[in-house]
Each structure stands twice: as structure tokens, then as C-alpha cells.
Amino acid sequence: MCGIVGYIGPRNVKDVVVGGLAKLEYRGYDSSGIAAIDDGRIELAKSVGRLSNLEARLEEHPIGGHVAIGHTRWATHGKPSDENAHPHQDCSGRFALVHNGIVENYLSLREELIASGHEFRSETDTEVVVHLIEELYNGDLFQTMIAVGKRIRGAYALVVISKDHPDQIVAVRKASPMIIGLGDGENFVASDIPAVLQYTRDIYVMEDGEMAVLTRDSVECFTLDGEPVAKEVYKVTWDAVSAERGGYPHFMLKEIHEQPKAIRDTLRGRVNPDLGSVTLDELGIDAETVKAMDRIHIVACGTSWHAGLVGKVAIEQLARIPVNVEIASEYRYSNPIATPNTLVIAITQSGETADTLAAMREMKARGLRVLAITNVVGSSAAREADNVIVTWAGPEIAVASTKAYTTQLAALYLLAVHFAQVRGEIGEQAAHDMINALDNLPQVAEAVLDTAPQIHAFAQKYAESKDTFFIGRGIDYAVSLEGALKLKEISYIHAEAYAAGELKHGTLALITEGVPVVAIAMQPDLYEKTVSNIVEVKARGAFVLGLTWVGNEDLAKTVDEVIYLPKTHPTLAPLAAVIPLQLLAYYAAVARGNDVDKPRNLAKSVTVE
């Protein structure tokens, strides 16, 4: 989710590139940099922190020239630092490169290049690519990039300049977004449209598996094999504010729709269906430690705590390790019972949640191992934990978390399968089925987004309700808690989630004529029990929206409306079921005229107790 800008033309390159990065700062903001070809050499400026730090550096040491590339970073490999900031250069200073994405085989390439005499300055996967360009360079930058593309694996958008070719920029796209801005005597490349809207509304949208060569007066597009591609000009009609949101009316809706990619990025390189295995090289917990674990404590707040409830079920069912899920603000005051073989898992989107950090520090002081699941590489949680799993959701701008939650689920599922395999608690066929289901989760998420029109219609009908209730059993109850939270925090409708089997123990008194109830029935072994609970609320006059899997048409006989979701492994069902609940909250908030991205009284990251 990093921001990329490139420019070739007569304007002041610093103004164009840094100005474009400012429009993309929502894509990444832990460091930034610019490289320009000036007087036959590549000038480089980089700075950790917000873009203003780079601007201050450029005031002291200006950069000139007429071709440049820039980058604002969201760290995946290597902490935020000047050294890890992009652009990266090769040993000779002949090339400069910016990159958005993940190079999966960077470790093996790095070893190969070090053996060939290359010296690395950073911890990033990106630097491998610029050294590989130097290694394979044959005098033709375009042909060299074709050769480089055959050596690297993963998802990437690459933009490279060379002092040997001061009149061109070469851009490559594989599974990471990139657009070309078309000008008169100038051209632009960027990871997103807002970066170029000040200068042009004529765009080439690069498709997956395409590359482009830009000069001042031309843009040529090709396949990754070098075959020419004819492109149609896309005319941008959005205003600049809408463009930052990718044309979506709110960041929250944009981020809901980004979930298939975020899940795919979090799983990429960690799931291998062919081998039937999960690979968590970065985990750093050896097999003997995993086998010796006698319990796990998950600590988190809010949405991350709800993710932990799903993780508890997954880990206990698959790895057979007892799991407690604790609210971080209560955990360290409860004198928790732990043994030397207890693992503490701290889940925090920002990595800066004060209560979660305090709980981590308390348990580390007791000598326990702490594993952090976070979306921010250089965060306090990532630095202070013994081990880290990074979720690759990218920056999340809306206060109400969506893609951070689903990528946390993906990380917990990976952990559950990994622990189960190491401990020998899962058979070969069961592991194969689970890993295939994990690998298919991005496609499941994409299919679930097709339910949006139906959810929108329901939200319009019940947006003025004073109360809404969510019910489910087992792991469906865990996801219903997240659905209720989403509705509360952005629509301001009072919402509660209940374990469906508990209704008759008092909460049925709240079910009155016409009250909306969202019933989640995604667990085959609990389906009939859930239907019985739905009948109970229907008998009290509730209007029931049911969520179940495709092919289970019987539910329509019991509820008023049904949303059918694609089938997946029952343990993974929360990841599918939560997306309609996010959409429900979003559409209800819009219908009520609320500020969706900035709900009242709430902040994105809670950094105080």
C-alpha cells in the first residue's frame, strides 16, 4: 500500500513528485524519498517520518532535473528508517527504484547477490530488485526489466530510472496497482490517480502483468514478455477528494472493498496448497516451544479482541491448545494465571494501543514470550514483542476497522494451522482441506461483496431503528459481536450481540414487534440449534435477516430475508460473514447522515489508557 509517483517532463520535478506524494500520503506514511537524474547523476533524498520531513530536507538540499521518482512508504520488510526508505540504489549508483508490494523470494536472491559481490544498505526486500537490475543489466533498461521480472516472485509495482537512460522511466505492474498519466510533452506514473489529477485527467490504467516505457513525448505499454499492448485512454471525471478514495464516497467503503487484496497479501508466501503447509518463517518460534505450549492468552481491545475470540476457536479446534481471550485494559489488573509455557498473543492494528502495550510489558516482565499480530512494522508492539506476525492490510484511514480485522483473522488462521501441524494435531487430509480453504479466502471475500445491494436495501429499511440485535452460536457468536460493534460505532444505533442459546435466559424480553435481528447460521453442526433460536425471536415479532451459506435454501422458510454467502471451511466462516455486517453498518450510517469515516467521540488509535 505504498505510494509511488514518477515524472518526466519540463516541470520542477521536486514540486511534481513531492506534491503527488502528498496526495498519496494516505497510502503510507512512515518514510518517504525522491530520486532524480540531474547533470548525469542520480540525486537521492530520503527521510523517516511524515512527508514534511522530506520536504524540509529538500529545502536544505534541493534536487533538480527533469526525470524523477518518489515514494511514501508503509513498511513490510524492515523498520521505518532513512536506510529502509525508498528509492533504493544499486552499488554503482546507476539505477534507482521504488516499489509497492512484496518480493517473496528476496532472501534467496539476496544471498545470491551477496555472493556475487553486492553490498546491501537496507533490510528491505526492495533493495534486492535494484541490485538484480545491476546484475542483469545488458545496456537496455527495458529488456533488463523483462529479465528481472522472470527472477522475482510476488506482487509488485516497480518504477526504475537509470542515469544511462535519462530520457525514460520504466514501470512494471504485477498484482499491485499502477496508472500512467498522459500529458503534453510530459508523462507521469503513479500508484493511484490522485497523484496526477493536478496535471492530467487522461489515464492509462495498467493491468496486471503489464509494463510501460515513458519518455516526455510517448508512453508504450507491453506485456511482461515484451509484447506491445494497445491501451485505451480513461478519462477521470472524479474530483480530487473522491480520487483519493478511489471513487468511493467514503474511505470505509473503499477499505471494505480492499479486503480481498488485503487478505491475499497477508496470505501470500505463507500458504502453500501444493505442499499442504503453512510457512511462517518470520514467526521465530521453534517446534519444541510450540509443542511445549500449555496455554495461550490473547490480549486485545475492541475489534482486535473480537478477532481474538475467533482465533481462540480456531486454535483450540485445530491445535488443541487452551486459549483465554482477555480485554487488554483488564488483563494486567487480573493477576492472570500463566506458566513458563504460556504464549501471550497481543493483537493491535496500530501497534500503539496503550492498554495492549501495557499488557505486553507486564507479561514480558514476568518472563513470558509475547507474540504481536500488528499491521505496522515499526510500531511499539512490533519492536517490543519477542515475535511478530505482520498483517499486510496497508493503511486504514476510516476509524471503524474493516480490513485490519479480516487480516487479523487471516493471521490467526495461519497461526492455528501452523501450530496444529507442528504439534501433530491435524491429519494430512484435514490440513490439506484447511490450507486450500485458506488459499481461497480472497475469492470468497470477493464473492461476498456481491451481496452489497441486498444489504443496502435492508439498511435503508431499518436505518431508523432504535435497537438491532445480532445472534449466533459458537464461532458465529464471535463474529456477531463484531457486527454489533460496527453498527454501534458508526450508525449510533443501539446494537447488542447475544449467544443465540442464551436468549431464553433473559434477553428475549428485549425482542419486540418489528425489531431487526441479524441471525448468523454458518456452522453446520449448530445450524438446527440456531434455527430453533430464530424461531424464538420470530415468535416475538422480530424481523430477521439471516446469513447462511449458498445452497441452504431452507433458512428462507424461517427468516424474513436471507443473505447467501459462499461456502468455506466452517472455522473460516467469520471472515465471510463479517463483510455483510460491515456493509450493513456502513449503509445504515450513510442513511442516517453520519460522518462515516470519523464517528463521534472515537479515534483511530487509542494511545492513552
Q: What CA–CA distances, in Å, run from 93 to 40, 98, 163?
A: 11, 14, 8
Question: Residue 449 and residue 254: Cα distance in Å, rounded?
Answer: 12
Nearest to 212 by CA among 202, 199, 226: 226
Q: Is position 2 annotated as part of the catalytic site?
A: yes
DSSP string computed for 232-292: PPEEP-S-HHHHHTTT-SSHHHHHHHTHHHHHHHHHTTTEETTTTEE--GGG---HHHHHH
Torsion from C-alpha of 111, 112, 113, 114, nearest 10 degrees? 50
In the structure grid, which three cell numbers stand for residue 595, read together? 460522518
Question: Residue 221 and residue 234: Cα distance in Å, rounded?
Answer: 15
Burial class (CB in 10 A: 0-12, 13-18, 19+), 558: middle
Residue labelled with grid coordinates 472493498: 257
Question: Residue 283 and residue 394: Cα distance in Å, rounded?
Answer: 20
What are the φ/ψ torsions at residue 377 (nearest 5 degrees)? -60, -50
Sheet containing strand 67-73, strands side by side: 41-48, 31-38, 67-73, 3-8, 187-190, 179-182, 202-205, 234-235
Q: Side chain identity at 73, as an amino acid letter? A: R
Question: Residue 393 and residue 398: Cα distance in Å, rounded?
Answer: 13
Q: Is position 254 annotated as part of the catalytic site?
A: no
In the structure grid, which three cell numbers stand for residue 360, read together? 505486553
Nearest to 338 by CA among 312, 364, 357, 317: 364
Question: Residue 342 and residue 590: Cα distance in Å, rounded?
Answer: 44
Catalytic residue, from 2, 23, 312, 486: name it.
2
Question: Residue 149 and residue 101: Cα distance in Å, rounded?
Answer: 14
**Which residues are paired to 154 by β-bridges?**
103
Give the burial string for 143-165 (b: 16+ CB within 10 Å, else e): ebbbebbeebbbbbbbbbbbbeb
CA terminus-to-terminus distance, the chain: 30
Q: What is the largest CA-CA distance in the chain?
A: 80
Catalytic residue, from 79, 461, 529, 604: name it.
604
Question: Residue 281 and residue 250: Cα distance in Å, rounded?
Answer: 36
Contact 124, 77 (CB under 8 A): yes
CA-angle at 235, arms to 232 and 238, nearest 5°: 145
Cβ within 8 Å of residue 186, ≥6 positions away = 7, 8, 9, 10, 11, 199, 216
In the structure grid, which three cell numbers stand for residue 539, read together? 415468535
DSSP string computed for 498-509: EEGGGGGGTGGG
Catalytic residues: 2, 604
